[in-house]
A and B are shown apart, each in its own frame.
Chain A
Amino acid sequence: MKMFVVYSVTGRLRYIGHLDLMRAMQRALRRSGLPVRYSQGYNPHILLSLAAPLPVGMEGLREVMEVPFEGSVSESEFVARLNAALPPLIRCLGARAVDDSHPAPMALLGAAVYRVEPQESAGQLFEALPAMLSRDSLPALKKSKRGMVEVDLRPLIYNAFVRDGSLKALLALAEAGTCKPELFMKALSEQAGLEAPAPFRCVREALYTASFAPLEEA
């Protein structure tokens, strides 16, 4: 069996990198004494896998990982013991046992909801949003392994609106295509006629499948 685990990373811990978070999870699982499965070989490690790297500087409120385990442990016990071992700024919010044959969260991932708070020119940006969304295409330059390539962002922006003084954006986050919040904000800044992309804070609020079901329930 494996556990689909929902967790949050908040506050100062938004500054740790993806590998740091993996290590922190590994060590917390070790401290918890939960019956997790290890890899074979000289340096055995716990076979956990996170749905998507959380960029340095971004908080994640409903992140998902899978943790293979053996023996029997209830979902609630898993959550309680993991929380007891985690640092206070990483919290385990839920766990769901699935079969080993269940696809990995990484494979199911399709989109994420972000809360974006512009630090400058918020009004102008908010006003420009409908115009941007009404366009058929949004060409943008994106870094790839082969240098800068042009992509169309428009199909990767599923939805975006203003609420309570910040932007909510449902953006593609998948193997097949991803729109990072930076690219979204760059396009929006251009639309608003700003000279440079507006600085912003960003929180990843939740992860979804390609059919917009919450990833942890998929």
Chain B
Amino acid sequence: MEERQLAAIDRLLEAVEKPARYIGGEINTAIKPRVKETAAFAFCFPDSYEVAMSHLGMKLLYYIINREPDMLCERVIMPWVDMADGLRREGVPLFSLETRTALRDFDIVGFTLQYEMSFTNILEMLDLGGVPPLSSRRAEEDPIVLVGGPCAFNPEPIAPFIDCFLLGDGETAVVEMTRLIKSMRLAGRPRREILEALCGIEGCYVPSLYEAQYREDGRLSAFRPLSAAAPATVRKRLEPDLDALPYPDEIPVPYTEIVHDRVALEVMRGCTRGCRFCQAGILYRPVRERSPENLLRLAEKLIAATGYEEMSLSSLSTGDYGHLVELVSGLMERFVKSRVSLSLPSMRVDSDVKEALSQVSEVRKSGLTLAPEAATQRLRDVINKGITEQDISRSVSDAFENGWSSVKLYFMNSLPTETDVDLQAFGDICRLIIDRFRQTPREKRGKGLSISLSSSTFVPKPFTPFQWDAQDDMDTIRRKHALLRETLRIKGVSFSWNDAELSRMEACVSRGDRRLAQVILRAWQLGCRMDGWREHFRYDLWMQAFEECGLDPDFYASRERDRDELMPWDFIDCGVTKAYLWRERERALRGETTPDCRGGCEGCGLKRFPGACALA
């Protein structure tokens, strides 16, 4: 970067709201020397510093790339709007935190996508960083733009912006991709050839090598590769053995406060409970556990290298981890002296586990969190959420007896088959909890029960049994919110809900096709960015973008699909078959549950991946 621009950065840091977001220099960050042969990877996170630095996947890949002798990885994070505007005004390109290198000066620009509504931030970051947002406009010397993370599983709405997607686990794939790209760039191979070569790496999808065709009514009619190098079906990348993968033994420690400011230990990947609304539960199958020995070793190293005072166990359902007792007691033993507290999500566990965990609550007291998702047993059966009223009753009674007095409840509204009866039942659950509190002896329970209940509007997601379903239209969502407000006028209960308009946009984007990219591009041009932040979400501009592009949001959000409709993501094999998802949908509509497949294989399709499913 030029002297003038570096001076401008300093001026901006004097003026912006939280300058510590942009300074880098955190402990355990890497500044590696850059030579021509080094593959320079910009790891990009399309949300604020506080969110980015809370994300485990970013720290994982940052570590993995930097440990390769021929690679370097630096972080580039979406600047807050004040900084973004400042950079534009001063003519300073978006830069890496480590060395203040412009985004365009990296070989590879790799985004991780955790949330659909961060798509406009990708465009904003590319543009600020001097990389053309449309891949078709990129010149030979421009970086190759990669994307991974759960949202990559419906790549189509951002297909024109991305050179190559990685579907599935990133640990070994990212190194293979980086090495391949760098060696071909050094050899002066053209972009198109590099992209074709990437198709040979399992999990890679190069959108420019495919074409989509549509019927007159807007539904997809055909989707096919345009090049012999591109496979018709892209299989997700799957790492069967987590213990064989590298895991960071040191992670950056931010100065400024972030959302999850602690060591997160990923104990396992995947979940077999089979909640039917949950996309992660399908995408991360099968369940793979890390060994307790490995985890204890990592935990010790991470605490020593970071000085963190808190550690959490992370996974989709930590209570299901097979060696939980061994792990927790091992951690407690090690950390009592160094005063590290262990935080665990609220979870359902057996009594011997509870015994071991009781020590944990001594270290850290917090409120109880429950996610029944739906308030009637009927609807919980539809979504296959295996939680009963007795479970709720028992959990809260236990918590109250231990002196807790705050309960957080997570629900969803607008689930398939939902009626007003299901919504009115939110109140019944609250009353049940209040009852349990009153029945707890005064000397045991805490003072003043508080229940905070939040309800998010259901967003149907690809690769779930509800991928065919319509989201409620806006009027219905609004009516339901009003009904819930009415129902939940109960003393001691506070109710919050998600913005209906944001939920509708999420529904559009998460099941969007390639045409939707025009809308995203237009919305960004109109000024949309940081859409996930209430104060920056501009529904009116999104609507204008739809209008100008001649597309109908209802087509994406509130339309029920036929069984045989070709979905924009059907070319991806995520391990679980479409036939299984449909069977699950039919069961859902009949109110039939599907048991956890640890008790017996349910035939989801993962067996087709050799050696993948230890349970099958």
Q: Which residues of A pack against B, CB within 8 Å?
A: 11-13, 15-17, 19-21, 23-24, 26-31, 38, 42-45, 56-57, 85, 87-89
Question: A-B contact count, CB below 8 Å?
Answer: 69
The residue among B22, B25, B306 with the most chain A CB atoms within 10 A of its own CB is: B25
CB-contacts of B567-581 with A (<8 A):
none
Q: Is the CB of B307 within 8 A of A43?
A: no
Q: Is the CB of A31 within 8 A of B339?
A: no
* Sampled A-B contacts (30; CB under 8 Å): A12-B23, A12-B25, A13-B23, A15-B13, A15-B20, A15-B22, A15-B23, A20-B255, A20-B257, A24-B253, A26-B307, A27-B27, A27-B253, A27-B308, A28-B27, A29-B307, A30-B308, A30-B338, A42-B341, A42-B365, A44-B309, A44-B339, A45-B309, A57-B13, A57-B14, A57-B19, A85-B307, A87-B25, A87-B26, A89-B25
Query: Which B residues touch A87, using CB under 8 A?
Result: 25-27
Q: Is the CB of B307 within 8 A of A16?
A: no
Name the distance in Å between B529's Cβ and chain A's nearest Cβ: 23
**Which residue of chain A has the shortest Cβ distance to B15 in the bound complex?**
A57
The residue among A26, A44, A85 with the most chain B CB atoms within 10 A of its own CB is: A44
CB-contacts of B241-298 with A (<8 A):
253, 255-257
Given contacts A13-B25, A19-B257, A57-B13, 13 further A-B contacts (CB under 8 A): A12-B23, A12-B25, A15-B13, A16-B256, A20-B20, A26-B309, A28-B307, A30-B308, A31-B304, A38-B339, A43-B341, A44-B309, A85-B307
Query: Which A residues touch B23, using CB under 8 A?
Result: 12-13, 15-16
- Give the residue of A16, A28, A88 whose beta carbon is less than 8 angstroms from that of B20: A16
- Give the residue of A16, A29, A44, A85 whose beta carbon is less than 8 angstroms from that of B255: A16
Q: Is the CB of B307 within 8 A of A20?
A: no
Name the distance in Å between B406's Cβ and chain A's nearest Cβ: 15
**Which residue of chain B has the shortest Cβ distance to A45 in the bound complex?**
B309
Interface size class, chain B: 20 to 34
Query: Which B residues touch A57, using CB under 8 A?
Result: 13-14, 19
The residue among A12, A85, A89 with the most chain B CB atoms within 10 A of its own CB is: A12
Q: Is the CB of A24 within 8 A of B341?
A: no
Query: Which A residues touch B339, using CB under 8 A?
Result: 38, 44
CB-contacts of B173-188 with A (<8 A):
none
Query: Which B residues touch A30, using CB under 8 A?
Result: 307-309, 338
Q: Is B305 an interface residue (CB 8 A)?
A: yes
Q: Is B224 an interface residue (CB 8 A)?
A: no
**Which residue of chain B has the shortest Cβ distance to A57 in the bound complex?**
B14
Query: Which A residues touch B13, using CB under 8 A?
Result: 15, 57
**Which residue of chain B has the shortest Cβ distance to A31 in the bound complex?**
B307
**Which residue of chain B has the shortest Cβ distance to A39 in the bound complex?**
B339
**Which residue of chain B has the shortest Cβ distance to A201 in the bound complex?**
B14
Given A30-B338, A42-B364, A89-B25, the answer on whether A13 and B309 have CB atoms closer than 8 Å is no
Q: Is B526 an interface residue (CB 8 A)?
A: no
Name the distance in Å between A210's Cβ and chain B's nearest Cβ: 32
Given A29-B307, A31-B304, the answer on whether A17 and B20 have CB atoms closer than 8 Å is yes
